[in-house]
Structure 1
Amino acid sequence: MPCTPYGLVDYPLCTTPEPGGWQEVAPGVLWIRLSLPFQLDHINVWALDGGAAGWTLVDCGLGDPRSRAVWEVLLRDALGGRPVERVVVTHFHPDHIGAAGWLVERTGAGFATSLTEWLFARTLSAGTDEATDAVVERFYRRCGLDEEALQSLLARKGAYSRGVPTVPATLTRLRAGDRLPVGDRQWTVIGGSGHTAEPVSLHRPADASGPDLLISGDQILPRISPNISVWPSEPDADPLADYLASLEGWTVLPADTLVLPSHGRPFHGLHRRAEELALHHAERLTEIETLCAEPRTAAAVTRALFPRPLDPQQMLFAVGEAVAHLNHLIRKGRLERVAGQAGDLAGGPADLYRRSARRNAVMAPA
C-alpha cells in the first residue's frame, strides 16, 4: 500500500529528506533535497552510485554561497567523500543548473546535458545588452501590462546570472535515446519539450534490484503543472504543442514506473498523471477561448487565470503561460491576434486576442 495517495498518484515513500538531507529511494539512488528562496521552496537532486567510477549527480540547485556550503557537507557525508564522475542537468533553469559550474570545478566531474539547454544557459548567464532589453520591454508592453507590473518585471534584469554565475565551458551532449552508463546499470535519455526546449529525463528499466525509475526533471510533477511559457526571444512560439506531445510519450514507459521528479515527492501513477496534465491544459484552453469572446489583452487573460496577488517572478511565469495558451489557440485557428496600431510598439497599444472569424462562423447558429 502507498504511504499517502494524492489525486491520481501514489506516494510510496513515507518520509521526506529535510533541507540539505538525503535518503535512499532505490538501490544506488539517493534523494537529496535542497532549499530554494522562492515560493517553490525546494528542488530534488538525484545522486546515482556508479561504484568505483564515482557518483553521477542529476541537477544541483542554485549557484549561491548558501547552496555551495550545503554541497560541501553533502560531498563529504551523503557521498562519503567519493569522486563525482559527472554532473547531469535536466534543463537550464537556475535551480537545476546554478551550481553546476562550481561543482564541476570543485570535483573535477564531467558535465552533461542537451546542447540546447547548455546554449541557453551559456547565453543567459552572460547577461543582456540594450537590444535584448528593448525586445523584452516591447514584448511585455504588447502583453498589456500596466506600468507598475511592467517595471517590476524589468527590474529582474540580471536575475539569471545571479542564480547561475558560471556554466561549464564543455559538455557531453545528451540526445534522446542515448545510453548513460552509471556503474553496471544503463540509464536511457528520454527527450521532450515544452517546459524548456530540450530537457533531459533519464529512465532506468526494472531489474532484480528494483522497479523502473524515471528522473523526470520538471516535465512531469506530482502536484503542480510545470510552467509552459512563451518568452520575448521567441514571441510566436507554441511550446504547449510540444509539451502535450511530450505527455503522450510517457505512455511507452511501464505504468508502475517510480517517478523521481524535481519538485514534490517520488510517485507512482505516471500514465494517470500525464492524462491529468493533458486535461488541465485542455480545460485552460477552453477557459481562455471563452474569455476571448470579448477581445482581451494577454495581461487581462493572465489576471483572469491567476486572480491572486503575484510577485514579479510569479507574474513573469503567469504572463508567459497565458501567452503560450493564446499562441496555441491561434495555431489551432480558434483565436486571432490583433496587433497594436501605434508606430512605436514600445509605447503603443497592446495586442488584443479574440475568437477568430472562422471559429465564430462555425459556432454561429444555422
Structure 2
Amino acid sequence: MVQLKNKQVILKKYVSGFPRESDLQVVENFIELKKVPEGSNQILPKNLYLSCDPYQRAMMSNSFVSRFGSYTPGAPIHGYGVAKVVESGHPDYEKDDLVWGYAIWEEYSLVPSSHMLFKIEHTNVPLSYYTGILGVLGITAYAGFYEIGCPKKEDCAFVSDASGGIGQLVGQFAKLLGCYVVGSAGSKEKVDLLKNKLGFDEAFNYKEEPDLDATLKRYFPKGIDIYFDNVGGKTLDMVLVNIRIHGRICQCGMISQYNLDQPEGITNLAQLIYKRVRMHGFSASDYYQLYPKYLGFILPLIKEGKIVYVEVKVEGLENGPAALVGLYGGHNVGKQVVVIAHE
C-alpha cells in the first residue's frame, strides 16, 4: 500500500455574481494507492488533463438545477477530463487504460464505474484532445449542429461565443457543409482568429456593437437559418427578431447569464410562433450513442488538417482556479485545459 499526496481544488462557498479565484482553494490531502476490492466496481484513475467549461460556473451556485446538481462547499469540484487507470475493480477497465469522461479536480480519484467514462482507443492524437474535440465538447458541437440544426448547404448560420471550444467546431462544421457562417466573440484577437484561422466568413466583437439588431441585419440581410447559441440573453433575444421562417435554434449554453443573480428576460419569444422556429435545448449525454459515428467523422478531418482546433493549456492543478475563473472574463482564446500530469 502506497500513500501519496493528492492535491484537490475545492469550492470554498457558494458563489454570487462573477466568481473569483479566491472562491476556489487548492488543498493537499493523501490518498492510498491500493488494489481496489474485487467486486466493488470502483476505479482509481490518475488525472492527466482537466477541462474548463462555462457550465461549471452555474454549478458553483446552490440554485442550479441539472442532472449534475451543484458543487458542495468544502468538497472538490468536478467536470470532464482525461485520466490513466491506476487500479480497477471493474472488468471493463484495466490498469494503464486511458479514459476520458467524468473527472474530479484532484490528482487521484476513487470513482464508481457508474460515472461516465469512455476508454481511449485512438492515441495517435494529443491526449488533451479528449477534453475537447474528441470528448464531450466535440459530441456537443456535432450533435447540436447536425442533429438539431438540420443544416443544408448555403444555410446562413450564426454562432455565439464562436472562439470557444464548441463554437470553433460548429463554425468549421458549417463551412465544410457549404454554409455562410458568422461568429461573435469578445475581443479583436478572437475575431481575427475566427476569420483568419478558423475560416468563418465574418465575425464581430459584440462588445463593440451597441445595436445588436442592426449588426445582425448587416451580416444577415436575408435572416438567420441556424443559430447555435452558447450565450443566451440579449443575443438570443435579437436573434429571434432576425431568424428566418422555419429557422432552428440549437440551445447549447447561457454563459451570459451564469454570473447574474437575476437572469435577463427574453422579450421576443412570440417570433417562435410567427416564424415557426424550432428552439431545442440539449445535453451531450442525449447523444452519446453517436460517439463512434462522431469519431469516424472527426478523426479523418483532424488527420487531413481540415479542422483547426485551438487549445490553451496551463500546467499544474494549482493554476486550475485561475484558468477556470478566467473563462468568465473572456481570457481564453480557444479550449482551456489544465495539465495535471503527462502520461
- TM-score over 0.5 for the alignment? no
| TM-score, structure 2 normalization | 0.28
Larger Rg: 1
More strand by share: 2
| TM-score, structure 1 normalization | 0.26
The one of the two structures with greater contact order (alpha-carbon pairs below 8 A, sep at least 6) is: 2
